[in-house]
Amino acid sequence: MPDLQAIVDEIHEKLQPRLGEGKAADYIPQLAHVDPKKFGIAVIDVDGQTYKAGDADVPFSIQSVSKVFTLTLALGKHGETTWNRVGREPSGSAFNSIVQLEHEEGKPRNPFINAGAIAVSDLVLAGHTPREAIGEIVRFVRYLADDDTIAIDPEVAKSEHATGYRNFALANFMRSFNKLTHPVEHVLGVYFHHCALAMTCTQLARSGLFLAASGRNPLTGHTVVSRQRARRINALMLTCGHYDGSGDFAYRVGLPGKSGVGGGILAVAPGKASVAVWSPGLNNHGNSLLGSLALEMLAHRTGWSVFGP
Ligand code: GLN
């Protein structure tokens, strides 16, 4: 095993002069007001050892990274029928794009673009009130991270709702094709709340550890999903986790990853480790600029890649 503490320290050190690069999301005040120079990284290996640097224990808005957890929940509830509602192909368009939905009659390309995650929220809602569904998601993430302090930031959820015109457009569009089974208000209530989960890099890396360890969380001993399902979620993260920047991320980093507009990225090195990085400045695809760079450096230094030794 490489000296992971030395590597994360070195990445943190090397990125110091570049902190603040990229453009932080400013569509809601809670994201616009975050210090753009924040940077955190946490690596947890499959033996449960944690290595961290920078602001690894400062909570941030995980935004679309949460789509990995809601997909995992939906697959647990609905199994393969989930794929009747959402596809598994990269979209090649922006995270909040509406254009493909018309051609594809309201069936979103994949679960990680907004439209797809909204369809997944509809699946998670089955048999629940919105409040219960949101509670289920929070309990699931707490169980994954083995940390009961994880919570939703209610102010972020409120702002998402107040500014979510495009998400309302996507949801109404899907509803018009009968592709949502619950009222738009309820589905988006669930969606906005899971996007508003606040977590630290350490908590996020813990929550993703089951994906690095064949579906079983080595910290708790809980089997979260089967080995095959863990592989499949990783495959979707690799092909779709960075929107229209997924190809570039695969090329540069070579690991499955899921980004969020809060500047967080969860990446998975199967059989090795779960990694979370956070830096608010985004590139032009809406993915963390320095977060991607940090993961590229980590992959380079460790030799981790799903494409070869
Ligand atoms: N809440 C954000 C939105 O729906 C999530 C987008 C993201 O993180 N890419 O616009």
Q: What's the pLDDT tens digit per position in 54-74?
A: 999 999 999 999 999 999 999
Within a domain: 296 = yes
Q: Is 195 in the pocket of ligand 1 (CB under 6 A)?
A: yes
Nearest atom in ligand 1 to 95's CA? 9
Q: How far is CA 189 from CA 51, 118, 165, in A?
A: 35, 10, 13
- Structural contact between residues 175 and 102, judged by C-beta atoms closer than 8 angstroms: no
Residues 223, 263 share a domain = yes
β-bridge partners, 198: 61, 151
Answer yes or no: is 235 within a domain: yes
Nearby residues of 65 by Cβ (< 8 Å), 6 or more positions away: 204, 258, 259, 260, 262, 264, 265, 266
pLDDT in tens, 153-187: 999 999 999 999 999 999 999 999 999 999 999 99
**Would residue 285 count as lying in a domain?**
yes
Query: 38, 52, 67, 107: which one is catalytic?
Result: 67
Q: Which domain holds residue 159?
A: 64-197
Q: Is the CB of 114 under 6 A from ligand 1?
A: yes
99 and 164 belong to one structural domain? yes
Same domain, 190 and 42: no
Residues 30 and 112 in one domain: no
Residues 207 and 108 in one domain: no
Are 70 and 170 in a shared domain?
yes
Active site residue 253: no
The 10s digit of each residue's pLDDT in 263-303 is 999 999 999 999 999 999 999 999 999 999 999 999 999 99
- If we measure between CA atoms, which residue out of 303, 264, 243, 286 comes closest to residue 54? 264
CATH number for the domain spanning 171: value is 3.40.710.10
The reply to whether 116 and 262 lie within a common domain is no
pTM over 0.95: yes
- For residues 141 and 130, membership in a common domain is answered with yes
Residue 266 inside a domain? The answer is yes
The structure tokens listed for 73 are: 């929940």
Residue after which a domain boundary falls, among 197, 214, 232 = 197
